[in-house]
Amino acid sequence: MPVETDVLVVGTGPAGASAALFLASYGTRVVVVTKYSKLSQDPRAHITNQRALETLRDMGVEDTLMALATPWELMGTTTFCTSLAGEELGRIPSWGTDPARHADYQLASPCTMLDAPQTITEPVMVKAAQDRGATVRFDTEYLRHVQDDEGVTTTVRDRLSGLEYEIRSRYLVGADGARSKVAADLELPYEGPGAVGGALGIVFRADLTHLVAHRPSVLYWMLQPGAEKEGVGLGVLRMIKPWTEWMIMWGYAVADGPPELSDEFVRELAVGLVGSDDFEMEVLSGSPWTVNHHFATTIAKGRVLCAGDAVHRHPPTNGLGSNTSIQDSYNLAWKLAHVIAGTADPALLESYDAERAPIARQVVERANQSIADTGRIMAALELTDTTDTEALERQLALRRAPGPEGDKVRAAVREAIAYKAYEFDAHGVEHNQRYASGAVVPDGTPMPPYERDHQLYARPTTWPGAKLPHAWVTRDGGREVSTLDLVGHGRFAVVTGVGGEAWLEAAAALGAERGLEITPVAIGPGLPVDDPYGTWADLREIADGGVLLVRPDCYVAARHLEAPGPDARAWLAGALDAVLGRA
Ligand code: FDA
């Protein structure tokens, strides 16, 4: 007898762990398999952006993560230097810690930015998923699958006993990372040059407080001989725990293969990056990884849907990998839950590909562009090759020298570092993901234009296909909550104001009729939620009595700009049916 479940998820990385958490929280039966006996021991992804944290806030695990993670205020002084103890070329305040950007971040989300390596996020997500009913099987390797009209039969191998067995599920989620066998078996089409470089990731313990605590950051970038070769653009020391645990990122030529990580090699690399040998170190792990430029242009076929690095493979620049993986799963999980519960037509699942495949392309291109942008620092110093140490020294000296040539280099370096805002403050990249699919009902209005750079600045809007804007509103005697807290939790919501009672009545009736829970949200004077600052009124882009139909992933599915007429119920029914694939 095969094991039976509704959804089988392959992988317990950020994509798989979050898929399990979302599905289990929505009450969907889910089994998760991973081929290893443990969760990730490698602190790879760490920058956790507000948008990913919002999804985990929706699941009630934000506080747990915040208690374990490095807080926002320690994330931000990205420093460019020759070594930690060496010459500083400049700094760029990052991840919204610049006072000039902090308000943008605070206005966009109820969440902070966080530094939470995968060694923190995966256990939190997996434990919460298990607590909510997910079954997790370690040492269980996905081998192959066959899909038919009713479901998917997946063959897995128990790596302890060697026994192979089948798991029968209605849907299969391939969250098995950059070497995804699920995606390969599905023959998903990919674009992009593929592997474009190699990098070493070496984790070590060393107390470097005296060199960094005065300029707290998660990333210190080193311009050193050979540092710009392949890799992420320069040599990097990344903070894992302030200021005693670190990761070295250093490029190597893929064509030559990774160097042997002998004790001497690693020590020499660390001493070079620190710029002193006056420290004790304990190496914890070391492994090579590939700098990729590769994305799937179709991310699902039939009953098999892929998420995370399985469909977008790119370098860690911009910190988009795990964040995007979690958001893939957030987009997918409510759709699976509704289809499985019978409240949506399977056609709804087509919107997963339509909405997330363009995001896969976008993040892969952004992350690779950020490596290219680091080259501007080299260009500013008029360097083509750091291995010419004489030229490197000469140009660094020129930057310190009086006179017009020095002025030119100084200005160029400042400008090149400031340009890295597209990597370290790309708030728009994180927040402006818009969806166009069958699960969004256009209202005939054009997408509101970006008044500021769309990569750097979040542009809140209630335009169908955009995430519901965050605003602090009040309920329960003046207690502040985010508008995002009023929606989500796996349910649709209707958001209206004074004069919108007919929307709430229509939602209640339609919900009962279709077996759907639709959360009523009424914001305004005399209503359950008030808007004392008027922020929501400024952001909502609808009249007091207009309505937003909000999906369980907090995206606006449809909106009616004006107060309801006699057709409120018909309009809402039409919008719901369209989104749920029943039109
Ligand atoms: P991931 O690779 O994490 O997980 C794959 C899972 O599938 C594992 O559980 C594995 O066991 C399982 N699996 C694989 N094959 C299987 C099989 N055949 N059968 C069963 N199980 C199988 N991202 C970010 O957002 N912010 C950041 O700051 C960084 N920083 C960063 C630094 C460094 C050095 C690296 C290398 C990467 C990052 N990233 C990042 C990227 C991030 O690590 C990456 O995008 C996510 O781990 C992807 O998550 P997935 O769940 O898709 O795959």
Could you tell me the residue ranges of all domains in the chain? 3-69+115-190+294-366, 435-579
Whether 117 lines ligand 1, by a CB cut-off of 6 Å, is no
Whether 533 lines ligand 1, by a CB cut-off of 6 Å, is no
Residue 103 class from Cβ within 10 Å (0-12 exposed, 13-18 middle, 19+ buried)? exposed
Whether 34 lines ligand 1, by a CB cut-off of 6 Å, is yes
pLDDT tens per residue, range 493-551: 999 999 999 999 999 999 999 999 999 999 999 999 999 999 999 999 999 999 999 99
What CATH class has 3-69+115-190+294-366?
alpha beta
Distance 320 CA to ligand 1 centre (A): 11
Distance 312 CA to ligand 1 centre (A): 11
Whether 239 lines ligand 1, by a CB cut-off of 6 Å, is no
Whether 47 lines ligand 1, by a CB cut-off of 6 Å, is yes
- In which residue are the tokens 């829970």 written? 517
pLDDT, position 254: 86
Q: Of all atoms in ligand 1, which is nearest to the CA of residue 52?
A: 25
Whether 181 lines ligand 1, by a CB cut-off of 6 Å, is yes
Whether 14 lines ligand 1, by a CB cut-off of 6 Å, is yes
Q: Which residues pair with residue 78 across a beta bridge?
A: 92
Distance 499 CA to ligand 1 centre (A): 48
Provide the mean pLDDT of the chain: 97
Q: Sorting pLDDT into bands at 50, 70 and 90, what band is 233? A: confident
- In which residue are the tokens 């989104």 written? 579
| Cα distances (angstroms) measured from residue 243 to each of 132, 208, 238, 286 | 35, 6, 10, 19
Q: Sorting pLDDT into bands at 50, 70 and 90, what band is 574? A: very high
pLDDT at 448 over 90: yes
Q: Where are the beta strands (DSSP E) in 337-387?
A: none
Q: Taking a C-beta distance cutoff of 8 angstroms, is the pair 392, 227 a contact?
A: no
Question: In this prediction, what percent of the chain has a pLDDT beyond 90?
Answer: 96
pLDDT, position 385: 83
Pick the CATH number of 435-579 from 3.90.550.10, 3.40.30.120, 3.40.50.1950, 3.40.50.300: 3.40.30.120
pLDDT, position 320: 97
Whether 45 lines ligand 1, by a CB cut-off of 6 Å, is yes
pLDDT, position 479: 97
Cα–Cα distance measured from residue 104 to residue 107, given in angstroms and rounded to the nearest whole number: 5
Whether 316 lines ligand 1, by a CB cut-off of 6 Å, is yes
Q: What number of helices (H) and strands (E) belong to the chain?
A: 17, 24
Instruction: Find the mean pLDDT for residues 350-368.
Output: 98
pLDDT, position 255: 87
- In which residue are the tokens 């179709």 written? 298
Quote the ipTM score. Answer: 0.96
Q: Sorting pLDDT into bands at 50, 70 and 90, what band is 247? A: very high
Residue 550 structure tokens: 């909000």
Whether 119 lines ligand 1, by a CB cut-off of 6 Å, is no
pLDDT at 17 over 90: yes
Give the helix ranges, DSSP H, for 14-98: 14-25, 50-58, 62-68
pLDDT, position 583: 82
Give the DSSP letter of residue 74.
Answer: G
Q: Of all atoms in ligand 1, which is nearest to the CA of residue 16?
A: 51
Distance 21 CA to ligand 1 centre (A): 16
Instruction: Find the mean pLDDT for residues 66-76.
Output: 97
Instruction: Find the mean pLDDT for residues 231-253.
Output: 95
Whether 35 lines ligand 1, by a CB cut-off of 6 Å, is yes
Residue of minimum CA distance from atom 41 in ligand 1: 321
Distance 175 CA to ligand 1 centre (A): 9
Domains 3-69+115-190+294-366 and 435-579 in one fold: no
Q: Checking DSSP bridges between strand 300-301 and strand 472-475, what pairing results, if any? A: unpaired
Q: Which amino acid is at 34?
A: T
- In which residue are the tokens 């090759």 written? 385
- Which helix (H) or strand (E) segment holds residue 33: the answer is strand 30-33
Question: In this prediction, what percent of the chain has a pLDDT beyond 70?
Answer: 100
Distance 431 CA to ligand 1 centre (A): 22
Residue of minimum CA distance from atom 15 in ligand 1: 176
pLDDT at 227 over 90: no
Residue of minimum CA distance from atom 31 in ligand 1: 45
Distance 518 CA to ligand 1 centre (A): 34
Q: Sorting pLDDT into bands at 50, 70 and 90, what band is 212? A: very high
Give the DSSP letter of residue 115.
Answer: E
Q: Of all atoms in ligand 1, which is nearest to the CA of residue 201?
A: 34
pLDDT, position 488: 98
pLDDT at 1 over 90: no
Q: Sorting pLDDT into bands at 50, 70 and 90, what band is 231? A: confident
Whether 201 lines ligand 1, by a CB cut-off of 6 Å, is yes
pLDDT, position 69: 98
- In which residue are the tokens 């256009």 written? 442
More confident residue, 1 or 457: 457
pLDDT tens per residue, range 379-422: 999 998 888 899 999 999 999 999 999 999 999 999 999 999 99
Distance 498 CA to ligand 1 centre (A): 46
Half-sphere exposure of 174 (CA within 13 A, CB side): 31
Q: Taking a C-beta distance cutoff of 8 angstroms, is the pair 379, 419 a contact?
A: no
Residue 123 structure tokens: 């256990």
Distance 156 CA to ligand 1 centre (A): 20
Distance 233 CA to ligand 1 centre (A): 21
Half-sphere exposure of 314 (CA within 13 A, CB side): 32
pLDDT at 428 over 90: yes
159: left (phi over 0), alpha (psi -120 to 50) or beta: alpha
pLDDT, position 94: 98
Q: Taking a C-beta distance cutoff of 8 angstroms, is the pair 272, 169 a contact?
A: no
Q: For a pocket test of ligand 1, which of 314, 322, 328, 368 has the largest count of ligand atoms closer than 8 A to its C-beta?
A: 322
pLDDT at 469 over 80: yes
pLDDT tens per residue, range 285-304: 999 999 999 999 999 999 99
